[in-house]
Structure 1
């Protein structure tokens, strides 16, 4: 995506030169600090971040998580090569740095060994002040799924010991924190086999369990998105198989272990795989991904209480936040929620970071006013100020609703253009088929005419044979003795 479009999203931001990996980003006009995120004034629009430090190598299908105002990025894929590095974006300074991690020394390991193998399609989960890393595609896949723990304070890796039957190794799965458990679903295993099995790891006992479920589970898939709601419900959205992408939504009640299909409302989401999701309260934000036809350009929001979909914003199809395999995290500054997207693939590999300030705000309790604290203001003036505040809030809601309607209208217009293009393609194919059918009809008519001529020829031949037989019979009757001596050509009389 060109820089002109990105600058139109946030014209107040300084220009950023984003080079290939191995170089340093040049920042103009102001010192980079955490205030840059706070300075984003527009809600629900993706804004490129001005960053400093050595940029990470472009990648997709990596993992990312936020701990103590830092985003940790693990591994990924670049040009078919698995990465094993750890990159950190400090939200205080918006600067990149690379961590050199070591392993927690064990008798069978050297102190300098790094157990985090280069991988892609893995899952990283925050657990307290530690980071858990599970599954993923590697150059030398193991038979079973292992659980590794990274301590940001000491920059050390360790492999956790688990009990029970571990799931088979895989990549592109979802790993979701539900209470004190990790729920692993689906993914792509050995031999590109697609999975829809469910495994639960109890983080208190570190024991794996494979539960029996009722209802109809999602079909086998990978590169889907998963979320937890009310520390009880697991939601699975989208994903893909080897032949198609999905747009379905599935719900698992982890107390009854029953699968169901919630009744969805609002806009109908496009099928997608390779997307990313993050929850803020009862809202689930989905961005990125694509299907067999294109990259998906909308950022969606699902109300987890009503299962109503809405479009938060639209971007051009090749914009990095639309990329397949990008990461998405949430960071809160001064009560404002920011989504941060990094990396991905949209025709080329990206190493850019983008931020979006979500307009969903927590409810603020009404302010109580005591007569002794009015500082000379009468109750009437307070009421007038409250009325003005209500009017301003109503106007703000109208503006937000108008913006939402415009965004939905834009989405519908884009969808209409796509359907019109598909209709033209179908009409062209129909015209081709009609031409072929007309050609076949002409060939059939020609064959039928030839068959009629053949019937006529056969009748003429039969007539000639009859006449010949009659002539021969007359000759036989008139000169029988001579025919007995010479033996005829057409008949054999013995």
Structure 2
């Protein structure tokens, strides 16, 4: 089951299949029949080639031998794309369709896009139910590996969060009110007892609606946005542009909206705020140098600052830069931290521990997913990569995380093949992973782009999940009540581990610890040499003079070793600097290579279109030459006919004069005279 990651190079599968279905490829609905015939021949052939490249792969079939111009052109279109990656073919397919018919997505019917193995659009499974035009499983409670529970009928309504009586298991809630459109890559935030949902991606379309779930009575409500505060002359609301892959952060009595993918992206990141009291959006003025626009980034609250890391810019280039926004002064600060940062990525998860340590886990690039863990000391601004323990999670991207005390819960995500079924937790004090629960089947908890927030009921923390995409879009709500006396906690407490802050502090200073151990080891060796030599020599040398000579020699040897140690340290420092410079150059070259590849693919597509145009012009030229020859032949025939007619007329005229002179019959003369 292919996943649909927006930021890691797979942002186009669901949009591609919707576009292919609209054009008429791959099991299109009835409403899309004949759409491909509206395009010019070259565009239609190019779309066909890109569709084959995206769903089948490079063209390995032999060229058609029979003289069939259409099949020859289709084969040439497909074969001309070479070894272009399927994701790039998807992107170009959607791009060309948007250039030729910008409003195509507004005419796509609401149906579930579920790509099959062969790239066709499959129908949903028969054991699903239809709600709001989307298909969802017919279960209420998801079974786990440790304990399976009876499913509840769809008509059973759970009464609030207090009805969740089980621990460490995901429970689907029945919500009243009109549910939001199914989506993923949306923003979610909890303020008091309300969970706010904004934007997201549905069927390749970006959304800009603001919905709220009252967690006390489990009712969906749509927020009516009032007139924009930036435009006092406007009497109607001014909604934000539809977006996905953004961040929604609760701050005081506002919801801060930051970054995200839009159809017409700006050059830099903008910060907007929704006032919960006045129900109005406003643009916040910031100072300093703002980051480049992006989506799929992580934005984490650390005290009175927001820490932004990574993401994917509007040109699909992956990022690993670090920026901090001071919420009190609204000033951006571009951070150049020391150490080795995580490689460029998007759709990762981030959390802050003890108001000092930023943790980055997982994420994806254009080709792979990660399961590495990186820690940034926000005081020293130094990156480190600690050693993980316990049940280390598998690589994933598009997952969501939330912290409860010292535990960092992570759910969902995908690995380019399937959704991740297990929900894991990291004890940020010990850096030990444990599996909390595992879901079965294709359910929203095994999705990419879902949201995960934490609410409270009667003093107990409850995780709340919404949305996601795993071949089907979801708008279901699931909750999980983490246990305080679970095996997760007991396993952590049984291990002999240092204090939380000390453990992370030691982790972030791992490099300095290795160097200090090296120095201490060298000094220890020197002391051992001195002691051993003194002990051994003192048995044989009895005179004070020999002892002084020995001590002098040992001191000289010690000084030589210390000089050698200093030299090795300088060499090590130099090598570290060269390594950091090499990694920086490698990162820049990688970004440049990605950009060049994108430009090359675009130029290749344009070259292919030009080749198709040239072929058509050659055919027209040959036709014109044939018509020219036929025209010349007709002109010669016409000239010959006119000359023959002229000769005949002259001959007739000449014979009439001589007949008159020779004396024609009277009747003939009379006739000629009457004429």
Name the TM-score, length of structure 1 as normaliser. Answer: 0.68
Aligned residues of 2:142 and 2:440 also touching (Cα < 8 A): no
Aligned to 1:249: 373
Aligned to 1:120: 244
Aligned to 2:305: 181
**1:170-319 equivalent positions in 2, closer than 5 A:** 170-319=294-443
Aligned residues of 2:184 and 2:473 also touching (Cα < 8 A): yes
SS at match of 2:413: strand
2:481 to 340, 351, 357: 357
Aligned to 1:55: 179
CA 1:8–1:254: 2 relative to 1, 3 Å: closer
Instruction: Identify the structure with bigger relative contact order (alpha carbons < 8 Å, sequence gap 6+).
Output: 2
Q: Which structure has the larger Rg?
A: 2
CA 1:252–1:192: 2 relative to 1, 3 Å: same
Determine whether 1:334 maps to 2:458. yes
CA 1:274–1:399: 2 relative to 1, 3 Å: closer
Aligned to 1:94: 218
Please report how far the alpha carbon of residue 6 of structure 1 lies from its aligned counterpart in structure 2 after TM superposition. 3.3
CA 1:109–1:344: 2 relative to 1, 3 Å: farther
Please report how far the alpha carbon of residue 150 of structure 1 lies from its aligned counterpart in structure 2 after TM superposition. 0.7
Aligned to 1:76: 200
In structure 1, C-alpha distance between the alignment counterparts of 2:277 and 2:419, rounded to whole Å? 38
CA 1:109–1:125: 2 relative to 1, 3 Å: farther
SS at match of 1:305: coil
Determine whether 1:6 maps to 2:137. no
1:403-454 Cα deviation digits (max 9, x unpaired): xxxxxxxxxxxxxxxxxxxxxxxxxxxxxxxxxxxxxxxxxxxxxxxxxxxx
Aligned residues of 1:105 and 1:111 also touching (Cα < 8 A): no
| Structure with the bigger percentage of strand | 1
In structure 1, C-alpha distance between the alignment counterparts of 2:270 and 2:137, rounded to whole Å? 41
In structure 1, C-alpha distance between the alignment counterparts of 2:150 and 2:440, rounded to whole Å? 20
1:368-392 Cα deviation digits (max 9, x unpaired): xxxxxxxxxxxxxxxxxxxxxxxxx
Aligned residues of 2:213 and 2:219 also touching (Cα < 8 A): yes
Aligned to 1:168: 292
In structure 1, C-alpha distance between the alignment counterparts of 2:263 and 2:408, rounded to whole Å? 33
Determine whether 1:64 maps to 2:202. no
CA 1:236–1:107: 2 relative to 1, 3 Å: same
Structure 1 residues without counterparts, runs of 5 or longer: 17-26, 362-396, 403-494
Aligned to 2:568: none
Aligned residues of 1:180 and 1:202 also touching (Cα < 8 A): yes
CA 1:53–1:70: 2 relative to 1, 3 Å: same
Determine whether 1:345 maps to 2:483. no
SS at match of 2:371: coil
Please report how far the alpha carbon of residue 360 of structure 1 lies from its aligned counterpart in structure 2 after TM superposition. 2.8
Aligned residues of 1:174 and 1:186 also touching (Cα < 8 A): yes
In structure 2, C-alpha distance between the alignment counterparts of 1:278 and 1:288, rounded to whole Å? 12
1:248-291 Cα deviation digits (max 9, x unpaired): 00000111000001121101210000000000010000000010
1:105 to 229, 232, 256: 229
Aligned residues of 1:179 and 1:231 also touching (Cα < 8 A): yes
In structure 1, C-alpha distance between the alignment counterparts of 2:199 and 2:488, rounded to whole Å? 42
Moved more, 100-109 or 271-280: 100-109
Aligned to 1:440: none
In structure 1, C-alpha distance between the alignment counterparts of 2:239 and 2:487, rounded to whole Å? 54
Please report how far the alpha carbon of residue 193 of structure 1 lies from its aligned counterpart in structure 2 after TM superposition. 0.5
Please report how far the alpha carbon of residue 117 of structure 1 lies from its aligned counterpart in structure 2 after TM superposition. 1.5
Determine whether 1:150 maps to 2:312. no
Please report how far the alpha carbon of residue 11 of structure 1 lies from its aligned counterpart in structure 2 after TM superposition. 6.0
SS at match of 2:409: strand
CA 1:139–1:399: 2 relative to 1, 3 Å: closer
In structure 2, C-alpha distance between the alignment counterparts of 1:399 and 1:174, rounded to whole Å? 26
1:170-219 Cα deviation digits (max 9, x unpaired): 00000000111001110000210000011100111100001221000000
In structure 1, C-alpha distance between the alignment counterparts of 2:227 and 2:349, rounded to whole Å? 30
Aligned residues of 2:436 and 2:488 also touching (Cα < 8 A): no
CA 1:345–1:177: 2 relative to 1, 3 Å: same
Please report how far the alpha carbon of residue 243 of structure 1 lies from its aligned counterpart in structure 2 after TM superposition. 0.6
Name the TM-score, length of structure 2 as normaliser. Answer: 0.50
In structure 2, C-alpha distance between the alignment counterparts of 1:70 and 1:13, rounded to whole Å? 27
Please report how far the alpha carbon of residue 108 of structure 1 lies from its aligned counterpart in structure 2 after TM superposition. 7.3
Aligned to 2:153: 15
Please report how far the alpha carbon of residue 42 of structure 1 lies from its aligned counterpart in structure 2 after TM superposition. 1.1
In structure 2, C-alpha distance between the alignment counterparts of 1:276 and 1:110, rounded to whole Å? 38
SS at match of 1:191: coil
Structure 2 residues without counterparts, runs of 5 or longer: 1-135, 492-675
CA 1:140–1:399: 2 relative to 1, 3 Å: closer
CA 1:302–1:224: 2 relative to 1, 3 Å: same
Aligned to 1:374: none
Please report how far the alpha carbon of residue 5 of structure 1 lies from its aligned counterpart in structure 2 after TM superposition. 7.5
